[in-house]
Amino acid sequence: MLSAALGAGILLPLTLGSGAAQAATPPVVCTSAKAGLATKLTTDITAALRGRASTTAIFVNDRKTKTTCTLRADQRFDSASVVKATVLATLLWDAKKQGRYLTATEVRLTTDMITKSDNAATSTLWRQLGMTKIKGFLTAAGMTNTVPGANGYWGLTQITARDQQKLLALLTARNTVLSDNSRAYALKLMNQVVSSQRWGTPAGAPSTAKIHVKNGWLSRATHGWRVHSIGAFTGTTHDYQITVLTHDNATMTDGVNTIQAVARVIHKDLTAATTSTTLSTTTTFAPPAVPQEAVPATPERAAVASVSAS
């Protein structure tokens, strides 16, 4: 019955796990129009997460094979610098509404914000946009479970894997929220992220895919390190997006390793399903020994800055 349904291209949810394990940890759920792919992804993602301490949320969407995978898709996480992609999209949405191009200053700020994850540029744009416009974009984008950080603490914006996937969907397909030029601009910047910040979801990507990524990390007193990566992978034979959000990591490296373990099996399985192209082995996407992305704006950072200045 199952094989017949898969052969007919019916989308069936596939889960792994048993009894007590499922009660403690939700299962990975995949569906696909490609026979056998949902089972393969479910098995491989579950194996990649086995034994890892981090709490992980995942959302994968592949338009080519009509495949989705989810895990804790609606659980909220502190955004860290991943929110910068949302800040960029909000600015582009607002400019479209006003019928104008970005100013030279906005081009400089957005370039620094995305390609180098510059915090000062982000804070400037966050203040310029204001909460009304940010919430307006979230409503227009259908990102209804995202809550902007209060009091200027954009790094504490509450995000979900599902909402991040909605953002990636807007950036990678025509829609009425963002213009084609806006989408192209955002993807260009995400493709030009500095090499030290190209870890995470790009790990194991096929050499034929064009990579668009935004990462973030943040350590706080509760839930340890938050380490996140969102990525879009485009090209003639590629049209998929991966979101992996994590917290409860003892170190930043633990979070990176979790994300990259998940990303590698996703790339492997999706690439095998659509093309014979081999996966890239020349780039490891290892994070630098010393993080080059500054810690996002948080109440803790403000307190440290106040003490340092006194």
Residues 161-169: what's their mean pLDDT?
Answer: 98
In tens, the pLDDT along 259-271 reads 999 999 999 999 9
Instruction: Kindly list the domain boundaries of the chain, sorted by start residue.
Output: 26-309
Does pLDDT of 310 surpass 50?
Answer: no
Nearest C-alpha neighbor of 35 from the set 67, 71, 61: 67
Q: What is the pLDDT of residue 294?
A: 60
Does pLDDT of 278 surpass 60?
Answer: no
Does pLDDT of 22 surpass 50?
Answer: no
CA dist 84 and 80 (Å) reads: 9
CATH class of 26-309: alpha beta
Q: Give the helix ranges, DSSP H, for the chain.
A: 2-7, 19-24, 37-49, 84-98, 104-115, 119-141, 161-172, 180-191, 252-274, 299-309
Q: Regarding predicted confidence, which is higher, 232 or 287?
A: 232
Does pLDDT of 189 surpass 50?
Answer: yes
Q: What is the pLDDT of residue 17?
A: 41
Q: What is the pLDDT of residue 274?
A: 72
In tens, the pLDDT along 35-84 reads 999 999 999 999 999 999 999 999 999 999 999 999 999 999 999 999 99
In tens, the pLDDT along 239-255 reads 999 999 999 999 999 99
Q: What is the pLDDT of residue 302?
A: 60
Label the pairing between strands 55-62 and 238-249: antiparallel
Q: What is the pLDDT of residue 293?
A: 57
Residues 190-204: what's their mean pLDDT?
Answer: 96
Percent of the chain with pLDDT over 70: 82
